[in-house]
C-alpha cells in the first residue's frame, strides 16, 4: 500500500502527473491534506453554488463532478452545481451582479468578469499562487483575468476552436492537407461543394462557433473593431475585404447556417451533412462513441492565415469569477484553487479528451496532447489565441461587444443579403460606438 504524508501529498502536484492521477481513497486523502495546508480556510457553515456552461463532453463533466465531490468531502463545504447553455450564463451572471443575489461563482465565456468588474472578488492571491506553482500563465489568460493591477477572475481553461474536416473528401477534392492560407481555403470550399461534400460555419447567435470564425476572418484580413486606445476603427477597406471573403465562403456553405447555434454544426457534421466546420474537439469525441467511421476519417487544423500574415485565432476562454455578494469568499477561493491543482486538473483535462486546454504552462506536459495526434493541435490554443478586444482592451466594452454579437451580426447581415457592405459596417459601427462611447 502507498503511504502518503501530508507534505508529500500537497507537494505532489505535477510530479504525480496525469499518468499517476489519484482516485478513490487516495484522492480524498490528498484533498484532505491539501485543505489543511491551503491558504484559504472556508468560513464556518460555508456552502457554495456555481453556475457553469453546459458540458459538451460527458467524461469532462464526470471528472468535474468527482473533483467537486472530493473538495466537499475534504473541506466540509457542499457545492451545488447548475449548468446552462453558453448563451444563458452571461445574462444570468449580469442579473445576479445587478440584484446582488444568485450563485457564489460563475464559470462562463470570454470576458465575463469584465462585464461587471466591480462585482467580482479580487482573486489576485489565487492567481499568484497558481501561477507561481505551475509555470506561469499564458499571456492571453493574464489579459482576460486582470483588471488593472488585480485579478477579477481566474482563467480555468480554453476550448480550442479549430477546423474540423473529413480526410477522404478533402483528398478527393484535390487537397492532401488542409489549406493553411485563406486563398487556398476558398478554393477548397468551392471544390468541396462541387463534389457534394460542402461545409459550413455558424452565422446565427452561436457564442462560441460564430464569434470565433468571424473574428478570425476580420482579423486575418487586417480589420479591427477598435485600436489600442479603444477608438472604433471598424469602417475600413480591410473590414470590407473580410466581408467580401466571408460572403464568398458563405456561397459554398450548406443552406441554413444563418440560423445555426453552437450545437448545429456538431449535429450536421456527425450526420455527414457537412465535411468541414470550426469547432472544439467535441465532434471528434462524439464520433468516437457513435460514428467511428467519421472519427477515423476526420482531423483538425489551425485556421488559415490571410493578409495579416500571422495566426489571428479567437479561442473560447472559460474564466471563473466570485461574486462580491457571496457570504463565503474564502471557501470560494479555496474551490477555484483546488480545481487547478495538478492532481485534479491533470486527470480532468485528460477526461475532457482535448476539449479543455490549460492556461498554466506546466500542463503542456499532460499526455492527452500526444497520445492521439488528432488532439495535439488543441494543446497550444491558449498561446495562439488573441483576446476578445483584438487590438483593444479586454474589458467591459469588449465583453459587451462579444455578448451582443456585433461582429457576428455584421457578417450575417452582409452574407445573407440583408445589408450591402457599407450598410453592414455602418450598423455594426453604430453599435460599437455606443458600447465604446
Same domain, 81 and 131: yes
Same domain, 337 and 260: no
pLDDT recorded at residue 23: 60
pLDDT-derived band at 7 (thresholds 50, 70, 90) equals very low
The grid coordinates of residue 396 equal 467591459
Q: Helix and strand tally (H, E) in the chain?
A: 20, 10
- Asked if 79 and 328 touch (Cβ cutoff 8 Å), the reply is no
Out of 19-28, 142-151, 396-405, pick the least confident.
Answer: 19-28
- Asked if 162 and 386 touch (Cβ cutoff 8 Å), the reply is no
Q: Shortest CA distance to 92 belongs to which of 107, 78, 72?
A: 107
3-state secondary structure of 320: strand
Residue 189 lies in a domain: yes
Is the confidence at residue 236, as pLDDT, over 50? yes
How much is the average pLDDT of 290-299?
Answer: 96
pLDDT recorded at residue 15: 38
CA distance 152 to 164: 34
pLDDT recorded at residue 21: 56
Same domain, 329 and 265: no
CA distance 71 to 79: 9
pLDDT recorded at residue 110: 85
Count of structural domains, the chain:
2
pLDDT recorded at residue 136: 98
Higher-confidence residue of 257 and 289: namely 257
DSSP 335-385: HHHHHTSHHHHHHHHHHTTTSSB-SBGGGGG-THHHHSTTTGGGGGHHHH-
Same domain, 180 and 298: yes
Same domain, 128 and 201: no
pLDDT per residue as tens digits for the range 180-209: 999 999 999 999 999 999 999 999 999 889
CA distance 351 to 53: 17
Same domain, 73 and 221: no
Is the confidence at residue 8, as pLDDT, over 60? no
Q: How many percent of the chain have pLDDT more than 70?
A: 95
- Structural domain including 333 reads 46-160+316-384
Q: 48: burial class by Cβ within 10 Å (0-12, 13-18, 19+)?
A: buried
Is the confidence at residue 381, as pLDDT, over 70? yes
pLDDT recorded at residue 74: 96
How much is the average pLDDT of 375-379?
Answer: 95
3-state secondary structure of 81: strand
Same domain, 201 and 295: yes
Q: Shortest CA distance to 145 belongs to which of 125, 167, 123?
A: 123
pLDDT-derived band at 166 (thresholds 50, 70, 90) equals very high
DSSP 180-246: -BHHHHHHHHHHHHHTT--B----SS-TTHHHHHHHHHHHHTT--SB-TT--B---SHHHHHHHHHH
Amino acid at each position: 500500500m502507498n503511504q502518503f504524508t501530508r507534505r508529500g501529498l500537497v507537494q505532489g502536484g505535477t510530479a504525480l502527473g496525469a499518468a499517476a492521477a489519484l482516485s478513490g481513497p487516495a484522492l480524498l486523502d490528498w484533498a484532505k491534506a491539501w485543505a489543511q495546508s491551503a491558504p484559504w480556510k472556508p468560513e464556518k457553515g460555508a456552502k457554495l453554488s456555481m453556475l457553469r456552461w453546459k458540458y459538451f463532453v460527458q467524461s469532462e463533466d464526470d471528472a468535474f463532478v468527482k473533483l467537486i465531490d472530493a473538495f466537499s468531502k475534504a473541506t466540509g463545504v457542499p457545492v451545488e452545481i447548475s449548468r446552462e447553455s453558453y448563451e444563458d450564463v452571461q445574462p444570468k451572471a449580469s442579473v445576479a451582479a445587478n440584484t446582488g443575489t444568485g450563485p457564489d461563482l460563475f464559470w462562463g465565456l470570454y470576458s465575463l468578469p469584465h462585464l461587471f468588474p466591480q462585482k467580482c472578488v479580487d482573486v489576485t492571491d489565487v492567481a499568484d499562487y497558481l501561477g507561481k506553482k505551475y509555470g506561469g500563465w499564458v499571456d492571453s489568460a493574464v489579459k482576460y483575468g486582470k483588471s488593472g493591477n488585480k485579478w477579477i477572475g481566474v482563467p480555468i481553461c480554453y476550448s480550442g476552436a479549430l477546423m474540423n474536416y473529413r480526410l477522404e473528401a478533402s483528398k478527393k477534392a484535390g487537397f492532401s492537407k488542409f489549406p493553411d492560407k485563406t486563398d487556398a481555403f476558398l478554393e477548397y470550399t468551392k471544390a468541396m461543394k462541387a463534389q457534394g461534400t460542402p461545409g459550413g460555419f455558424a452565422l446565427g447567435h452561436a457564442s462560441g462557433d460564430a464569434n470565433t470564425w468571424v473574428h478570425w476572418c476580420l482579423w486575418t484580413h487586417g480589420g479591427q473593431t477598435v485600436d489600442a486606445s479603444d477608438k472604433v476603427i471598424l469602417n475600413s477597406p480591410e473590414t470590407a475585404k473580410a466581408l467580401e471573403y466571408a460572403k464568398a465562403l458563405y456561397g459554398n456553405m450548406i443552406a441554413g447556417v444563418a440560423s445555426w447555434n453552437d450545437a448545429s454544426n456538431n449535429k450536421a457534421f456527425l450526420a455527414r451533412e457537412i465535411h468541414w466546420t470550426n469547432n472544439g474537439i467535441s465532434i471528434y469525441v462524439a464520433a468516437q462513441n457513435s460514428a467511428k467511421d467519421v472519427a477515423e476519417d476526420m482531423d483538425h487544423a489551425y485556421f488559415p492565415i490571410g493578409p495579416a500574415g500571422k495566426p489571428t485565432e479567437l479561442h473560447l476562454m472559460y474564466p471563473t469569477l466570485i461574486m462580491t455578494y457571496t457570504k463565503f469568499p474564502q471557501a470560494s477561493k479555496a474551490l477555484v484553487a483546488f480545481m487547478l491543482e495538478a492532481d485534479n486538473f491533470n486527470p480532468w483535462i485528460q477526461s475532457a479528451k482535448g476539449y479543455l486546454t490549460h492556461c498554466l504552462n506546466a500542463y503542456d506536459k499532460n499526455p492527452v496532447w500526444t497520445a492521439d495526434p488528432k488532439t495535439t493541435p488543441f494543446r497550444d490554443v491558449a498561446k495562439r489565441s488573441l483576446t476578445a478586444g483584438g487590438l483593444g482592451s479586454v474589458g467591459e466594452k469588449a465583453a459587451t461587444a462579444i455578448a451582443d454579437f456585433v461582429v457576428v451580426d455584421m457578417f450575417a447581415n452582409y452574407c445573407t443579403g440583408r445589408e450591402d457592405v457599407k450598410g453592414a459596417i455602418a450598423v455594426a459601427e453604430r453599435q460599437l460606438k455606443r458600447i465604446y462611447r
